[in-house]
Amino acid sequence: MSDRTPAGAPQPGSEAFEAELRDEIRRELETHGSGSGGPEIVELRDVWLSFGDHEVLRGVSLGVARGGTLCILGGSGVGKSTILRLMLRLLLPDRGEVLIEGRDISAVSRPEALALRERMGMVFQGSALFDSLNVFDNVAFPLYEHTTLPEDEIRERVEEVLSFVDLDPAVVLPLLPSALSGGMRKRVAIARAIAHRPPILLFDEPTSGLDPITTRRIDELILKLRRELHVCVVVVTHDVRSASRIATETALLKDGEIIFSGTPEEMHATEDRYVRAFRG
Amino acid sequence: MRSNAFWRSGEHTSIPERAPKIVPDGSARRSAARLARDAVLRMAFAVEAYCRLLVRVSRACLSQPFYRGDLVQQMDTIGVASIFIVMLTGLFTGMVLALQSAVEMERFGATVYIGRLVGASTIRELGPVLTALIVTGRAGAGMAAALGAMRVTEQVDALRTMGVDPIRKLVVPRFLAALVMLPVVTIIGDAVAILGGLLIAVLTLDFTAQLYINSVWDTLAQSGFVLRVIPIDLIQGLVKPFTFGGIIALTSCFHGLRAEGGTEGVGRATTRAVVTSSILILAADYFLTQILLAMFQW
């Protein structure tokens, strides 16, 4: 019932596994360099947001191009997840623009915003799988909602995305989310997010609460998403090590402002006191 | 920072020589007024949000997309699953009514009217109100808890991110299911209550079943018929549960979707849903009775 490990592959946690992962990441970086290129398909321009008297975001500007992975780092409660909510128009900014594929999602009509949302897949911190639905229905949910695919094609697609996230469809399809481990829930959430093949993926603390081995597996999966599906990924996290593995761009948020942005290498090289303190 | 000498001196425990005098400057009164104003404002915003939810749900009921599967599932959860407990409540209520009224009516030699009393009070008042309160405690609490849990675990946000309107997906099926199933469950509850009265009448008061049933029918016939076949009492007895069904679903969903603060927040939302629904049901019962009496009897 647990996650599948291909026969002959090194076991997670072993030396061989670590070496293979390091090689893969190095190859990844060599192949794609900083990864992104071309126009930015997710972009925030001078975004301000307050909740009552509390200013959450103060002139935040950031962006990521197709094929890139932007990791937004910061301590707890600095407004990282708020940025994702703005991208999905679950919140509206007080000022500024939130551009998705060049269109300001906060300024378009409701139907247009819904159409833009369909261009994105979101993986929530707690996975947010529907408790009352089994894995099949959870993953198939966006397909039933937004496509007219016949039943057998939907089943095929669901099995395909579950295999992509290294879960055995035959085992997990009938299970309810309550029967899954934390790592498996996260994978099912990723499968649900990519089921309708969106070009943009948003992750809210994807490795929060997971053990180091599962964390690496999820990181590996995010790299695989970028490599094989060429999606644009935005990850909100406070895990610097994880960000260093997966990001092509990083942005560090403090007191509602971006105090650093650059590649993971630049982040590790910077002498800024707060950045150094944050990366530990 | 106080020095160690200060703490050793015991000065921190002594009463100051000249205690600061508390001068009533009206600040306490002002803060009480502010609290009262905030409470009124919160209430006004909540009423506005409730009315907006009603409007959105009504609009969504009349347009696509419509989740038929969820509607059927909710009819089962709200209606079918409540039938047993409603029957049980109805049975004992009918039996108690018959027993109590027998004691009083025996004094006037009017025990033959027990069927009338049980029938009229059950169909017009007790049936709809008791059934609604039972369904509130059972299904209403369940709705608020389920939606509250979905909200605090970001499942409602997940629906939104997938371009699905949570009102259509979560509220509309519950609302329609409650509108349809409350009258059905109430009729069943009424029938079982009258049956409970029959049991007492036959077993302890030496009535014949025929006499009791005729007595019940007399009270239904006395208030007249709509379209010559439907007793007016029955209409009254169905208008109320229909309204109560809407109140239960809307109130429970309203509080569930506003839950925040983790599991504790879900608990608070559930309590609020049950209390508010119960109060609204009792208040609506009074106004509906006034309206129905004005329509059919005066």
Nearest to A92 by CA among A49, A43, A53, A45: A49
Q: Are A82 and A49 spatial neighbours (Cβ–Cβ below 8 Å)?
A: yes
Picking from B155, B163, B164, the nearest residue to A128 by CB comes out as B155
pLDDT at A177: 93
Which residue ranges form the domains of chain A, and what is each CATH number? 15-116+234-279 (3.40.50.300)
CA distance A40 to B102: 82
User: Cβ–Cβ of B153/A126 closer than 8 Å?
Assistant: yes
B-chain residues near A200 (CB < 8 A): none
How close, in Å, is residue A118 to chain B by CA atoms?
6
B-chain residues near A124 (CB < 8 A): 154, 157-158
Q: Which residue of B has its CA nearest to A125?
A: B154
pLDDT at B147: 95
B149 touches chain A (CB under 8 A): yes
A-chain residues near B157 (CB < 8 A): 85, 90, 124, 128
pLDDT at B24: 58
Does B266 or B15 have the greater pLDDT score? B266
Per-residue pLDDT of chain A (280 residues; tens, 9 = 90+): 344 444 455 554 455 554 554 455 445 444 544 444 567 789 999 999 998 888 889 999 999 988 889 999 988 888 888 999 999 998 999 999 999 998 999 898 888 888 888 889 999 988 899 998 999 999 999 999 888 889 999 999 999 999 988 889 999 999 999 999 888 999 999 999 999 889 999 999 888 877 888 888 888 888 888 888 888 999 999 888 888 889 999 999 988 899 888 888 888 888 888 888 877 6
**Residue B296 pLDDT > 50, yes or no?**
yes
Compute the mean pLDDT over every residue in chain B, rounded to the nearest whole number: 86
pLDDT at A79: 86
For B75-91, what is the mean pLDDT? 94
**Residue B102 pLDDT > 80, yes or no?**
yes
Positive or negative: CA dihedral B236, B237, B242, B244: positive
A125 touches chain B (CB under 8 A): yes
Instruction: Give contacts of B 163-202 with A, CB under 8 A.
Output: 163-164
User: Cβ–Cβ of B157/A128 closer than 8 Å?
Assistant: yes
**Residue B116 pLDDT > 70, yes or no?**
yes
Picking from A85, A117, A130, the nearest residue to B163 by CB comes out as A117
User: Cβ–Cβ of B161/A145 closer than 8 Å?
Assistant: no
User: Cβ–Cβ of B157/A90 closer than 8 Å?
Assistant: yes
**Residue B59 pLDDT > 70, yes or no?**
yes
pLDDT per residue as tens digits for the range B200-218: 888 887 888 888 888 888 8
**Quick check: ipTM above 0.90?**
no
Does A5 or B245 have the greater pLDDT score? B245
B76 touches chain A (CB under 8 A): no
Q: Which residue of A has its CA nearest to B155?
A: A128
Partners of A249 in beta bridges: A70
**Residue B19 pLDDT > 50, yes or no?**
no
B160 touches chain A (CB under 8 A): yes
User: Cβ–Cβ of B154/A126 closer than 8 Å?
Assistant: yes
pLDDT at B124: 86
A140 touches chain B (CB under 8 A): no
pLDDT at A165: 87
Tell me which long-range contacts A247-250 makes (C-beta under 8 A, separation of at least 24). Answer: A247/A69, A247/A70, A247/A71, A248/A32, A248/A34, A248/A35, A248/A36, A248/A64, A248/A68, A248/A69, A248/A70, A249/A34, A249/A35, A249/A36, A249/A64, A249/A68, A249/A69, A249/A70, A249/A71, A250/A70, A250/A71, A250/A72, A250/A73
pLDDT at A211: 82
The enclosing H or E element of A41 equals strand A40-51
Rounded to 5 degrees, φ, ψ at B170 are -105, -40
How close, in Å, is residue B83 to chain A by CA atoms?
23
A122 touches chain B (CB under 8 A): yes
pLDDT at A2: 40
A128 touches chain B (CB under 8 A): yes
pLDDT at B1: 41
A108 touches chain B (CB under 8 A): no
A-chain residues near B161 (CB < 8 A): 88, 90, 117, 120, 122
Picking from B153, B160, B164, the nearest residue to A90 by CB comes out as B160
User: Cβ–Cβ of A88/B161 closer than 8 Å?
Assistant: yes
A-chain residues near B149 (CB < 8 A): 131
Q: Which residue of A has its CA nearest to B165?
A: A114
Picking from B158, B163, B164, the nearest residue to A128 by CB comes out as B158
Which of B24-38, B234-248, B272-286 tops mean pLDDT?
Answer: B272-286
CA distance A116 to A230: 18
A-chain residues near B164 (CB < 8 A): 145
pLDDT per residue as tens digits for the range B134-182: 999 999 999 999 999 999 999 999 998 888 889 999 999 999 999 999 9
Give CA torsion, residues A162, B155, B145, B62, to 10 deg.
-110
pLDDT at B265: 92
**Residue B6 pLDDT > 50, yes or no?**
no
Q: Which residue of B has its CA nearest to A194?
A: B162
pLDDT per residue as tens digits for the range B250-260: 999 999 999 98
Return the residue matching tokens 């379209």.
B227
User: Cβ–Cβ of B157/A145 closer than 8 Å?
Assistant: no
A146 touches chain B (CB under 8 A): yes
How close, in Å, is residue A258 to chain B by CA atoms?
25
For B222-240, what is the mean pLDDT? 80
A91 touches chain B (CB under 8 A): no
A110 touches chain B (CB under 8 A): no
pLDDT band of B25, cuts 50, 70, 90: low
pLDDT at A35: 46
- What is the three-class DSSP state of B249? helix
